[in-house]
Structure 1
Amino acid sequence: MLMRLASIFLALLSASFTAHGQSAYFPEKHEWQSKQAEQLGFNKSALNDAVSFAQSNEYSGSRDLRIAIFDGFKREPFHEILGPTKKRGGPAGMILKDGYIAAQWGDLERVDMTFSVTKSFLSTLAGLAQDQGLIYSVNDKVANYVWDDTFRGEHNQKITWHSLLNQSSDWSGELFGIKDWADRPPQEGGIDDWKYRVLNAPDTVMEYNDVRVNVLAYSLLQVFRQPLPQVLKTQIMDKIGASSTWRWFGYEDAWVTIDGLKMKSVTGGGHSGGGVFINTLDQARFGLLVLNNGRWKNEQIISKQWLDSAIEPSKANASYGYMWWLNKGPRKWDEVEDSDMFYAAGFGGNFIVVDRKNNMVIVT
């Protein structure tokens, strides 16, 4: 239902847009310029309709996200909340055109959970690792970089960074107290069926699974040898002028010792708690960085080559790249024609939509 609402919102927004432009504007820290809708090529009345739609179609789940989480994932056996949560605010969002604010609504500075939007931040850190030579190739086996028991066994030792990034690894095991088969189990069968299933060869079947995403985060921690929130802060968020209010959490017991120092391994989502907690403005800055092919002002922060590879349809699911959803394949939005559009998406109606054709970023 949320995906359907998102597609209607984007269809309304597309109908309001009539012109193209060039992006040369990057907002300074603590400030962001706006322009009138007509200056940016929008039909003001139609743009207002799109914003009104976003405001009046709030996620229907409880604002107490502990309740929403338990209700949304009640089919999962042994499900617990293992990391921080936060009660959410009301609808909030921004529409950027050529870097300028065309429209906004709600409390843009309120920090909220974003759930699986976190995955797109995690994917970007994998790109940094490759850009810096910490990962030679995404086609390398992760076991060559992480030599503990995480990738032990005939199946797990075949897994590459590529298959972890597009969620087709079918990694099997337990990480920080959660078993892979207990995360979003199939509609059919029971515990024995899920536990003793036949594993799919990597790169053949895409399965949305936070335990395996957390394995990616754990593996990147081993590669960077410093906490991922610290990497994200110093190498990305500080450079794009983000605030100091965002946080990235892991589970309470997800401590790892590296080089004699205890570090927290963060999560790639929030349905057991944790993940990225962030405000709308900081998400929009991240989206603007991606819109501009990894460049902020005169600095190439993340390579264009990585971002291009991140939005390539995967063999296992043409609607999914490296933890970015694509507007193509089986999950293409019926109302939105642009198949080059891509987006981060999280439980509860969290989206960062990147529209390179029209030089736009939409955050809800």
Structure 2
Amino acid sequence: MRNITCILLLLLSIVSCSKNDNEIQQTPTESMYYPSNTSASWETKSLSSLGWNQNAVQPLKDYLNQKGTKSFMILVNGRIVMEEYFNGHTATATWEWNSAGKTLVASTVGIAQQENLLNINNKVSDYLGTEWTSMPLNKENLITVKHLLTMTAGNDDTKQYVIKSNLTYIADAGTRWAYSNIFQKLTDVVNKASNKPFETYFNEKLKSKIGMEGFWNFGTIFTIYHSNTKSMARFGLLALNKGKWNNEQIINESYFNESVSTSQSINPSYGYLWWLNGKTSFMIPNEQNVYQGFLVPNAPADMYAAMGAKDQRIYVIPSKKMAVIRMGDASDPVNPNFAVSGFDNELWGKINAVIN
């Protein structure tokens, strides 16, 4: 009888363990959250629920404040985990994206392509007509829309005003990576392809779809988007979900994946106006030097980022279901940068202390 009882207890134990294992396997993962397009409400999530180190939060805030930050946000699965404002900045105040807004342009180009209005492999002159540069015609005709997306148009990158006389030849398109403002011609391409002003098309196809607020400032040196912090976060959330917002695929997923993948062999850390971490080497604006290693060593290897002058940032980390936003003045006012800087690595050191 004792043997039978022991066998029954063992069987019950096995069944109980199997049941518990099954329950664990069936525990649902947290759903992705999208804030309403018509309401100011936005779900939040506590640091403690994520098991983050709350003792490291104040050092992060102190660092951000010392480095001229105006606003900082962290989203996890779309929910706000941190939302901080400094130096009198508020949730409704607008600020410049600078070159972080290039990613808005790249996204709008992708939407125009999926609507069969353009093809990024076509010549720019197919949309703008010939002689839109001061290059020899045979060299101008080498430049495709994709070359503008990847900073490989071969133009003289020392001339920042985007006027015809400054768009001169340095190298054949596709053979040289150089960061410059020639990307702004993409807004003209979308304008001609859609027969609508770029901002009108952008507002219809992207901004209104995800509930963003903001406006474009078009100039011959810089084309800059301005918005509040949560609008920047909305775009970060769209990017985290590879162009999807709720149940609508706003940016074709295949195109978006191309955007955040190495776009050419010269600078592997650059996609379609997105900066990429975790590659073997990288280049930076105003130089032709190649640096070995990750763009931001302290950041997750799968991170892709929108980066603008004076350290405007959208960091997107798919492995952590996370998007991080930073807006503000330059972290180093004496030596303000055009895009990537040492600030990124220092900041990620502080973020890692919180999230790991």
Q: 1:248 aligns with which of 216, 237, 243?
A: 216
Aligned counterparts of 2:216 and 2:196: Cα–Cα separation in 1: 14
- For residues 209-224 of structure 1, what are the structure 2 equivalents within 5 Å? 209-210=180-181, 212-224=182-194
Deviation at 1:48, TM superposition (A): 3.9
Aligned to 1:156: 140
Percent identity between the two aligned chains: 26
Deviation at 1:177, TM superposition (A): 4.1
| TM-score normalised to structure 1 length | 0.70
> Number of aligned pairs?
276
Deviation at 1:176, TM superposition (A): 5.9
Deviation at 1:147, TM superposition (A): 2.1
Aligned to 1:27: 35
- For residues 128-277 of structure 1, what are the structure 2 equivalents within 5 Å? 128-136=111-119, 138-150=120-132, 153-171=137-155, 177=163, 179-180=165-166, 199-210=170-181, 212-243=182-213, 246-251=214-219, 272=221, 274-277=223-226
Aligned counterparts of 1:104 and 1:280: Cα–Cα separation in 2: 9
One-letter identity of the residue aligned with 2:139: H
Aligned counterparts of 1:52 and 1:236: Cα–Cα separation in 2: 35
Aligned counterparts of 1:221 and 1:301: Cα–Cα separation in 2: 19
Aligned counterparts of 1:293 and 1:223: Cα–Cα separation in 2: 24
- For residues 67-86 of structure 1, what are the structure 2 equivalents within 5 Å? none
Deviation at 1:52, TM superposition (A): 2.9
Distance verdict in 2 for CA 1:274–1:133, change over 3 Å: closer
Aligned counterparts of 1:116 and 1:274: Cα–Cα separation in 2: 8
Deviation at 1:273, TM superposition (A): 5.0
Asked if the contact 1:30–1:241 (Cα under 8 Å) also holds between the matched residues in 2, the reply is: no
Aligned to 2:67: 57
CA RMSD of aligned residues (A): 2.4
Distance verdict in 2 for CA 1:96–1:223, change over 3 Å: same
- For residues 268-347 of structure 1, what are the structure 2 equivalents within 5 Å? 272=221, 274-313=223-262, 314-327=264-277, 328=279, 329-330=281-282, 332-336=294-298, 338-347=300-309
One-letter identity of the residue aligned with 1:38: S
Distance verdict in 2 for CA 1:311–1:229, change over 3 Å: same
Deviation at 1:295, TM superposition (A): 0.9
Aligned to 1:112: 95
Aligned counterparts of 2:206 and 2:252: Cα–Cα separation in 1: 12
Aligned counterparts of 1:177 and 1:36: Cα–Cα separation in 2: 49
Asked if the contact 1:23–1:359 (Cα under 8 Å) also holds between the matched residues in 2, the reply is: no
Listed one character per residue, the Cα deviations across residues 108-150 of structure 1 (whole Å, up to 9, x for unaligned) are 32111221112111000111011111123x2222222332431
Asked if the contact 1:295–1:302 (Cα under 8 Å) also holds between the matched residues in 2, the reply is: yes
Aligned to 1:94: 73
Distance verdict in 2 for CA 1:286–1:323, change over 3 Å: same
Listed one character per residue, the Cα deviations across residues 259-291 of structure 1 (whole Å, up to 9, x for unaligned) are xxxxxxxx7xxxx35410111110000110110
Deviation at 1:350, TM superposition (A): 0.3
* Partner-residue secondary structure (3-state), 1:281: helix
One-letter identity of the residue aligned with 2:166: D
Aligned counterparts of 1:46 and 1:346: Cα–Cα separation in 2: 27
* Partner-residue secondary structure (3-state), 1:248: strand
Aligned counterparts of 2:160 and 2:96: Cα–Cα separation in 1: 25
* Partner-residue secondary structure (3-state), 1:110: coil
Larger displacement relative to structure 2 (115-124 or 226-235): 226-235
One-letter identity of the residue aligned with 1:27: P
Aligned counterparts of 2:71 and 2:160: Cα–Cα separation in 1: 36
Please identify the structure whose Cα radius of gyration is greater: 2
Listed one character per residue, the Cα deviations across residues 218-240 of structure 1 (whole Å, up to 9, x for unaligned) are 22211121111112212112111
Larger displacement relative to structure 2 (169-178 or 285-294): 169-178
Aligned counterparts of 1:180 and 1:158: Cα–Cα separation in 2: 18
One-letter identity of the residue aligned with 1:340: D
Larger displacement relative to structure 2 (283-292 or 323-332): 323-332
Deviation at 1:339, TM superposition (A): 2.1
One-letter identity of the residue aligned with 1:37: L
Aligned counterparts of 2:180 and 2:248: Cα–Cα separation in 1: 34
One-letter identity of the residue aligned with 1:97: V
Larger displacement relative to structure 2 (332-341 or 226-235): 332-341
Gaps of 5+ in 1: 1-20, 59-89, 182-194, 252-266
Listed one character per residue, the Cα deviations across residues 16-57 of structure 1 (whole Å, up to 9, x for unaligned) are xxxxx6442101132211111122342222244333322221
Gaps of 5+ in 2: 1-28, 284-293, 327-356
